[in-house]
A = this chain, B = another copy of it.
Amino acid sequence: MSQQFKEIHGSVVAPQGFLASGVFCDIKRLGTGKGSAKGPKRDLALIVSEVPASVAGLFTTNQVCAAPVKVCLARLKRGTAQALVVNSGNANACTGPQGMKDALEMTALVAKQLHLPAGRVLVGSTGRIGVTLPMKNVRAGIRQAAQLLGREAAHAAEAAEAIMTSDTRRKEIAVEFKLGGRTVRIGGIAKGAGMIQPGLSATGRRPAAIPLHATMLCFLTTDAAIGRAPLQAALREAGARSFNRVTVDGDMSTNDTVLILANGLAGNPKSEIRNAKSVDGVRFQSALNHVCLELAKMIVRDGEGVTRFVTVRVSGAQTFADADAAARAVANSALVKTSWCGGDPNWGRIIDALGYSPATVVEEKVDIGYSAPGSRKVLWSLKRGQPTKATFKALCAAVASKEFDLHIRLNLGRAGALIYAADLTEAYVDFNKGDVSDPSSLGG
- Residues of A within 8 A of B (CB-CB), count: 72
Give A205 Cβ to nearest chain B Cβ, in Å.
13
A125 interface residue per 8 A CB criterion: no
Which residues does chain B contribute within 8 Å of A346, judged by CB atoms? 129, 442
Please judge, given known A-B contacts A347-B130, A348-B93, A444-B348, whether A338 and B428 are in contact too, CB under 8 Å. Answer: yes
Please judge, given known A-B contacts A352-B252, A352-B254, whether A63 and B362 are in contact too, CB under 8 Å. Answer: yes
CA distance A70 to B396 in the complex (A): 31
Q: Which residue of B lies closest to A431 (CB)?
A: B338
Please judge, given known A-B contacts A335-B195, A352-B64, A356-B251, whether A426 and B430 are in contact too, CB under 8 Å. Answer: yes
A424 interface residue per 8 A CB criterion: yes
A342 interface residue per 8 A CB criterion: yes
CA distance A425 to B430 in the complex (A): 8
Tell me which residues from 9 to 47 in chain A have a Cβ below 8 Å from any Cβ of chain B: none
A354 interface residue per 8 A CB criterion: yes
A201 interface residue per 8 A CB criterion: no
Q: Which residue of B lies closest to A364 (CB)?
A: B96
Which residues does chain B contribute within 8 Å of A238, judged by CB atoms? none
CA distance A129 to B366 in the complex (A): 14
A94 interface residue per 8 A CB criterion: yes
A409 interface residue per 8 A CB criterion: no
The prevalent SS among residues of A at the interface is: loop
Give A298 Cβ to nearest chain B Cβ, in Å.
20
Against B, the Cβ 8 Å flags (1 = close, 0 = not) of A239-266 are 0000000000111111000000000000
Against B, the Cβ 8 Å flags (1 = close, 0 = not) of A199-239 are 10000000000001100000000000000000000000000
Which of B61, B64, B433 is in CB contact (< 8 Å) with A341?
Answer: B433
Please judge, given known A-B contacts A251-B353, A335-B195, A355-B254, whether A344 and B62 are in contact too, CB under 8 Å. Answer: no
A432 interface residue per 8 A CB criterion: yes
Which residues does chain B contribute within 8 Å of A94, judged by CB atoms? 348, 351, 363, 382, 385
CA distance A364 to B94 in the complex (A): 8
Which residues does chain B contribute within 8 Å of A435, judged by CB atoms? 342
CA distance A63 to B353 in the complex (A): 10
**What is A's interface to B at a CB cutoff of 8 Å?**
61-65, 91, 93-94, 96, 128-130, 194-195, 199, 212-213, 249-254, 332-335, 338-339, 341-344, 346-349, 351-358, 360-364, 366, 382, 385-387, 392, 396, 424-426, 428-430, 432-436, 439, 442-444
Shortest 4 CB-CB distances between A and B: which pairs? A129-B348, A342-B433, A64-B355, A338-B432
Q: List 20 A-B contacts (CB under 8 A).
A: A62-B352, A63-B355, A63-B360, A63-B362, A63-B363, A93-B348, A93-B352, A96-B385, A130-B347, A195-B349, A195-B352, A250-B333, A251-B334, A334-B424, A334-B428, A334-B432, A338-B429, A344-B436, A392-B439, A426-B426
